[in-house]
Chains A and B, each alone.
Chain A
Amino acid sequence: MKSTLVQQNLSTEQNTTLKKKSRIMQNLRSLNKYKALYFISIPGILYFLIFKYLPLMGSVIAFKDYNIFAGIWDSTWVGLKHFEALFQNPDSIRVLKNTLLLSFYDILIFPAPLILALLLNELRLVLYKRFIQTIVYMPHFLSWVIISGLFIGILSPTTGIVNKLIEWLGQEPIYFMGSEDFIRPILVLTYLWQSVGWGTIIYLAALAGVNPELYEAAKVDGANRLQQILNVTLPAILPTFSILFLLHIGHFLDFGFERVYVFLNPLNQANGDILDTYIYEVGLRNAQYSFTTAVGLFKSVVGLVLLVIANFVSKKVSGNSLY
């Protein structure tokens, strides 16, 4: 009796080792069989490791005093010195303030594409709707350099149409690009101009999926158009809206170098500099590598933390989440 039990035990043990072995063999065989698949994926994996993860490791220079001759690993550790400098240096505090303000304005205009999508959705003439869509999508395809050229032209104190209008009203022309008072509105409005049309695409796609019977039912219940929009259309695109909003929050401090840099000049820089342009000017042009790496790292960490928090809140409140 006892011996058979032992034997049984032995045999199951042998069985599991055999199974393990055969699984390994199977894996190896599958690796061999599909080796072409693994092979062609190597360049892509290397790309991400070298150009995305190596710089991430290189970010340790934020905690060091980077010395070109010593290299990344042999430079001396300085702890959080550069992060402290970020909150003490009046220049970087100014830039931080600009960045926060502009991010805040960006959030204010965030619902604009949603509103535009609702208005487009109410158009009954399909041809007219297409026509408007084609035009409002277009700015998305223009580079920021070209957009800055357009707006610098429009706002020019001598030849711009805006100042012609101001003169016609009997006022003195204003040099919009040469004043720190106007740079923030310019940055926000040009972004609105460039992105509002394009932003409607996802909402319009969500709207196309709304069951027409819902509108019929609402009509039978006596809902007018505004009530239909509020009670049928809006709830249908709210999940899309909240997902997009979460993604936007994740990029809170990082809204693009180009769209800001192309409008900056020495006269308006004081209010227009953001973290990205500051990193470029101070880091790349003036070679303060460690300090600006700290600034960049700070930016990325804030983005990640905000994303996690926003996702948590949204999950609790509305049940929509990214992951």
Chain B
Amino acid sequence: MKNSTSIRSKIFDIGNICFLALLALTMLLPLLSVFAKSFSSSNAIAKGEVFFWPVEFTLINYEYVFHDASIWRSFLVSLVITVGGTFINLLATTSLAYPLSRPEYKGKKIILFMVLFTMIFSAPLIPSYLVVKNFGMVDTLWALIIPSMISAFNFFVMRSFFLNIPSTLIDAARIDGLGELGILFRIVLPLSKPVLATIGIFYGVSHWNSYQTALYYLNDPKLYPLQVKLRQMIVNDEMSVESNSVYSTIALNSPEGIQMATVVIATLPILLLYPFLQKHFVKGTMIGSIKE
């Protein structure tokens, strides 16, 4: 009796280990195939010989990408939005979350409800677009930064972190003669480095990956961030398949290798930072899930 259950338990363990390994493979293999294709000749890709290892190894796809000025410009745009946007996000989120974490702030209930409500009921796209347009932000990079300056979720995460800072510390600083801003900059912010890192990464990754807002607000190809540029390359390829129903012929001059090289370049910053990102993302999700 005892033996049979332990055997069954072992079988379950082995099955479980195998199943999870398979699942992990489905997550890894698509990326591996992108790497493989980005280093393969277009000839080998077109013949469908490339799966998870480069065939007819070449760097020509990357050379092409490095010589395409429009891809470089998109890369630069994404970089500017990610760095500048994240800075503005952090500044704005902190300067709202900190006062609203302090018991002295009168009327915080109304403002907290105001923020919470936007999480439950969002305004339709068109009126939001009209507001952005009336501020003259359409076709400028501000449209990718200002209309999403504070995320309500990140605001609540940050506020719940500030709430946990002991008030005795703040009182002591006040007795020592620090003003309210002095307390924020000299006491609270240095203590809040972990949450600032986490929230900064939340914002940074979403800027780097954002595609939707650029699609809504930008018409000028010169301003396209990397994701929009990449999408264009993918769509052009897809459409060329569609316009010729006999797909095997046009696949010969398919730029799939170049596409994949661009995908690698767009993913690289994320992959390089991944161990760091993962740690902070997990932490932030935990803080966020603990409701006040």
CB contact under 8 A between A135 and B28, given known A37-B105, A284-B216: yes
Whole-angstrom CA separation of A239 from B181 in the bound complex: 40
Cβ–Cβ < 8 Å partners of A160 in chain B = 48
Instruction: Mark the stretch among B13-21, B56-64, B190-198 that contacts chain A.
Output: B13-21
A-facing residues in B223-281 (Cβ within 8 Å): 227-228, 230-231, 234-235, 238-239, 241-242, 247-248, 251, 254, 256, 259-260, 263, 266-267, 270, 274-275, 277-278, 281
Cβ–Cβ < 8 Å partners of A292 in chain B = 124-126
A-facing residues in B27-47 (Cβ within 8 Å): 27-28, 30-31, 33-34, 37, 45-46
CB contact under 8 A between A284 and B274, given known A38-B105, A120-B20: no
Say if the beta carbon of A110 comes within 8 Å of chain B: no
A-facing residues in B182-231 (Cβ within 8 Å): 184, 205, 208-212, 215-216, 227-228, 230-231
| 8 A-B pairs in the complex with CB atoms less than 8 angstroms apart | A34-B105, A37-B104, A52-B123, A116-B23, A150-B263, A158-B241, A254-B122, A280-B125
> What's the minimum C-beta distance from A279 to chain B, rounded to whole angstroms?
5
- Please name 6 further chain A to chain B contacts, defined as beta carbons within 8 Å, in addition to the given A54-B127, A161-B33, sorted by A numbering: A45-B96, A143-B208, A158-B241, A159-B254, A193-B27, A276-B125
Whole-angstrom CA separation of A258 from B209 in the bound complex: 10
Cβ–Cβ < 8 Å partners of B227 in chain A = 143, 145-146
Cβ–Cβ < 8 Å partners of A36 in chain B = 179-181
The residue that B46 contacts in the complex, of A48, A136, A159, A276, with Cβ under 8 A, is A159
B-facing residues in A7-65 (Cβ within 8 Å): 27, 30-31, 33-34, 36-38, 40-41, 43-45, 47-48, 50-59, 61-62
CB contact under 8 A between A122 and B260, given known A41-B105, A146-B266: no
* A interface size (C-beta, 8 A): 101
Cβ–Cβ < 8 Å partners of B234 in chain A = 145, 148-149, 152
Are B130's CB and A58's CB within 8 A? yes
Chain A: which residue is nearest B262 at the CB level? A149
> What's the minimum C-beta distance from A199 to chain B, rounded to whole angstroms?
10
CB contact under 8 A between A44 and B266, given known A136-B27, A149-B234, A158-B248: no
CB contact under 8 A between A134 and B278, given known A120-B20, A143-B211: yes
Choose among A55, A136, A224, A283 the residue with the greatest number of B CB atoms under 10 Å from its CB.
A55
Say if the beta carbon of B140 comes within 8 Å of chain A: no
A-facing residues in B1-31 (Cβ within 8 Å): 5, 8-9, 12-13, 16-17, 19-21, 23-24, 26-28, 30-31
Whole-angstrom CA separation of A156 from B215 in the bound complex: 25
Dominant SS at the A interface?
helix
Say if the beta carbon of B81 comes within 8 Å of chain A: no
Are B212's CB and A257's CB within 8 A? yes
Say if the beta carbon of A113 comes within 8 Å of chain B: no
Say if the beta carbon of B111 comes within 8 Å of chain A: yes
Choose among B37, B96, B256 the residue with the greatest number of A CB atoms under 10 Å from its CB.
B96
CB contact under 8 A between A158 and B247, given known A55-B124, A119-B19, A141-B205: yes
* B interface size (C-beta, 8 A): 99
Cβ–Cβ < 8 Å partners of B275 in chain A = 134
B-facing residues in A210-249 (Cβ within 8 Å): 224-225, 240
The residue that B260 contacts in the complex, of A153, A175, A295, with Cβ under 8 A, is A153
Instruction: Mark the stretch among A83-91, A98-106, A180-188, A299-307 that contacts chain B.
Output: A299-307
> What's the minimum C-beta distance from A295 to chain B, rounded to whole angstroms?
8
Chain A: which residue is nearest B12 at the CB level? A225
Choose among A33, A40, A61 the residue with the greatest number of B CB atoms under 10 Å from its CB.
A40
Chain A: which residue is nearest B286 at the CB level? A205
Whole-angstrom CA separation of A59 from B241 in the bound complex: 41
Are B267's CB and A146's CB within 8 A? yes
Cβ–Cβ < 8 Å partners of A157 in chain B = 241, 247
> What's the minimum C-beta distance from B288 to chain A, rounded to whole angstroms?
9
Cβ–Cβ < 8 Å partners of B210 in chain A = 143
Whole-angstrom CA separation of A306 from B8 in the bound complex: 43
Chain B: which residue is nearest A225 at the CB level? B9
Say if the beta carbon of A107 comes within 8 Å of chain B: no
Are B124's CB and A38's CB within 8 A? no
Are B131's CB and A55's CB within 8 A? yes
Chain A: which residue is nearest B51 at the CB level? A161
Are B33's CB and A154's CB within 8 A? yes
